[in-house]
Amino acid sequence: MNVAGLQGARRSPGALAGRGLRSPHFALGASSGSGRQPCSTSLTRKGHRNRKRVGAATELAASVTQSDGGAQEAGVLEVTNLEAEIDGKRILNGLNLRVNKGEVHAIMGQNGCGKSTFSKVLVGHPDYSVVGGSVGYKGSDLFALEPEERAHAGLFLSFQYPVEIPGVNNTDFLRLACNSRRKALGQPEFDPLEFYGHVAPILEELKIDSKFLNRNVNEGFSGGERKRNEVLQLAVLESDLAILDEIDSGLDIDALREVAEAVNKLKEKRKDMAVVLITHYQRLLDYLEVDFVHIMKKGKVVKTGGPELARELESEGYASIDLEFE
Ligand SMILES: Nc1ncnc2c1ncn2[C@@H]1O[C@H](COP(=O)(O)OP(=O)(O)OP(=O)(O)O)[C@@H](O)[C@H]1O
């Protein structure tokens, strides 16, 4: 995370551009849990640098609403034979996944199978090279968009380890992020008062303490508070596809339930929002209703089922699943 750039943003939004961060929304929507910042000028897909843009953020956002009722409606996310590598090491090996709007998918898999890599590739982390396959997002080529544009188009990745941004007030950060997306969508930006009108009901619905707004981003936050702050960001941004990478990690039982309830509340309100949960534990699914569970192994989805698949994993472990696919 480019802390210096974001501190500058508190004084002046323009400072973000000067420090290589074009908006805080970029930081929110297209960052990785590694704390490294995606570079807005680099594309992860070889050969895409000069590709003609097939969809600006506005067009993409519009495409979802306009495609209602179509027999062949595109999935929010259509991943086909995706292959990606880092430093020449192949991590994703022909991953396939389709997520329709409103659906909740859980991705499970042993350590190192490529779950976080998948999420980072989607948001355009520059360390990863896409070497094969395709990803459609709302019917357009995701890789034709810069990381910042992906965020503007409604793609949100929650941090696995949300970082502190000392000196940056949460309200300022959220408002700049929100306005960055609104501007890209051609919507009027919120002034501070209007933004408070936007965020106050969200806090109430998600049962998040309004003191969160006065604090600096994640500074001194407990693990549970940080994860709730991620959900707050997601709600404020009104993203269309939320990728929640281990939103349950490091949480005690009560915090886990509270975070899951916040996601549920958000889903109730925004029924079309699609969610991809990356998790190791079935217990999250006790609180969050999922439509599909996918098991990843060696960089691809090897099995898909319903919530019962997670329960089977919990009781039998991966060995039982692996046998079917060796
Ligand atoms: N920046 C990197 N440099 C080198 N190797 C990396 C890097 N990022 C990921 N990898 C490797 O890619 C593989 C997949 O990692 P990834 O974090 O995607 O797995 P994961 O399924 O999310 O694991 P976990 O469940 O432990 O979080 C691992 O072998 C990891 O060491």
What are the tens digits of pLDDT across the range 259-279? Answer: 899 899 999 999 999 999 999
Distance 90 CA to ligand 1 centre (A): 11
**Residue 92 predicted with pLDDT over 60:** yes
Residues 81-103 have a mean pLDDT of: 96
Which is it for strands 292-297 and 300-305: parallel, antiparallel or unpaired?
antiparallel
Residues 238-266 have a mean pLDDT of: 90
**Residue 251 predicted with pLDDT over 80:** yes
Domains and CATH numbers, the chain: 3-39+100-123+155-323 (3.40.50.300)
The model's pLDDT over 111-124, given as tens digits with 9 standing for 90+, comes to 999 999 999 999 99
Cα(193)–Cα(53) distance, rounded to whole angstroms? 36
Which tokens go with 86? 């880092």
Residue nearest to atom 17 of ligand 1 (CA): 116
For residue 112 and ligand 1, the question of a CB distance below 6 A is answered with: yes
Residue 75: how many CB atoms within 10 A of its CB?
18
Beta bridge partners of 240: none
For residue 91 and ligand 1, the question of a CB distance below 6 A is answered with: yes
Considering just the CA atoms, what is the radius of gyration of the chain in Å? 19
Question: Could you identify the atom of ligand 1 that is nearest to the CA of residue 118?
Answer: 18
**Residue 10 predicted with pLDDT over 80:** no
Cα(184)–Cα(32) distance, rounded to whole angstroms? 22
Residues 73-97 have a mean pLDDT of: 95
What pLDDT was estimated at residue 315? 84
The residues, any chain, with a CB within 8 Å of residue 318's CB and separated by 6 or more, are 109, 110, 295, 297
To test the ligand 1 pocket, which listed residue (83, 87, 89) has its Cβ within 8 A of the most ligand atoms?
A: 89
Distance 121 CA to ligand 1 centre (A): 12
What pLDDT was estimated at residue 324? 53
Question: Could you identify the atom of ligand 1 that is nearest to the CA of residue 120?
Answer: 18
Q: In what order do the strands lie in the sheet with 140-141?
A: 89-99, 77-86, 128-137, 140-141
CA-based max dimension of the chain? 58
Residue nearest to atom 6 of ligand 1 (CA): 86
Question: Could you identify the atom of ligand 1 that is nearest to the CA of residue 113?
Answer: 21
Banded pLDDT at 291 (limits 50, 70, 90): very high
**Residue 25 predicted with pLDDT over 90:** no
Return the higher-pLDDT residue of 6 and 64.
64
Return the higher-pLDDT residue of 60 and 219.
219
The residues, any chain, with a CB within 8 Å of residue 277's CB and separated by 6 or more, are 104, 105, 106, 107, 244, 247, 284, 288, 290
Which tokens go with 133? 């396959």
Residue nearest to atom 5 of ligand 1 (CA): 86
To test the ligand 1 pocket, which listed residue (82, 83, 90, 91) has its Cβ within 8 A of the most ligand atoms?
A: 91
Q: Is the dihedral of CA 289, 292, 298, 300 positive or negative?
A: negative
**Residue 107 predicted with pLDDT over 70:** yes
**Smallest Cα–Cα separation from 166: which of 270, 10, 313?**
10
Are 161 and 73 in contact by the 8 Å Cβ rule? The answer is: no
In this structure, the chain runs to a length of: 326
Residues 193-214 have a mean pLDDT of: 92
The model's pLDDT over 143-186, given as tens digits with 9 standing for 90+, comes to 999 999 999 999 999 978 888 999 999 999 999 999 999 999 99
To test the ligand 1 pocket, which listed residue (32, 89, 117) has its Cβ within 8 A of the most ligand atoms?
A: 117
Q: Is 107 helix (H, G, I), strand (E, B) or coil?
A: strand
Distance 112 CA to ligand 1 centre (A): 5
What pLDDT was estimated at residue 322? 59
Banded pLDDT at 254 (limits 50, 70, 90): confident
What pLDDT was estimated at residue 59? 55
What pTM was estimated for this model as a whole?
A: 0.80
Residue 280: how many CB atoms within 10 A of its CB?
15
**Residue 282 predicted with pLDDT over 50:** yes
Banded pLDDT at 135 (limits 50, 70, 90): very high
Which is it for strands 128-137 and 140-141: parallel, antiparallel or unpaired?
antiparallel
Distance 115 CA to ligand 1 centre (A): 8
**Residue 64 predicted with pLDDT over 50:** no
Helix extents (H) in the chain: 3-11, 14-18, 24-29, 57-66, 115-123, 147-152, 170-184, 192-206, 211-214, 223-237, 253-269, 283-287, 307-316, 318-323
What pLDDT was estimated at residue 152? 95
Distance 66 CA to ligand 1 centre (A): 38
What pLDDT was estimated at residue 183? 96
The residues, any chain, with a CB within 8 Å of residue 311's CB and separated by 6 or more, are 282
Residues 32-43 have a mean pLDDT of: 32
**Residue 29 predicted with pLDDT over 60:** no
Q: What is the DSSP letter of 72?
A: T
- The average confidence (pLDDT) of the chain is 80
Question: Could you identify the atom of ligand 1 that is nearest to the CA of residue 280?
Answer: 25
What pLDDT was estimated at residue 13? 32
For residue 120 and ligand 1, the question of a CB distance below 6 A is answered with: no
For residue 127 and ligand 1, the question of a CB distance below 6 A is answered with: yes
Residue 218: how many CB atoms within 10 A of its CB?
23
Are 97 and 277 in contact by the 8 Å Cβ rule? The answer is: no
Q: In what order do the strands lie in the sheet with 104-109?
A: 155-158, 241-245, 274-278, 104-109, 292-297, 300-305
Distance 285 CA to ligand 1 centre (A): 24
What pLDDT was estimated at residue 113? 94
Which is it for strands 155-158 and 104-109: parallel, antiparallel or unpaired?
unpaired
The model's pLDDT over 222-235, given as tens digits with 9 standing for 90+, comes to 888 898 899 999 99
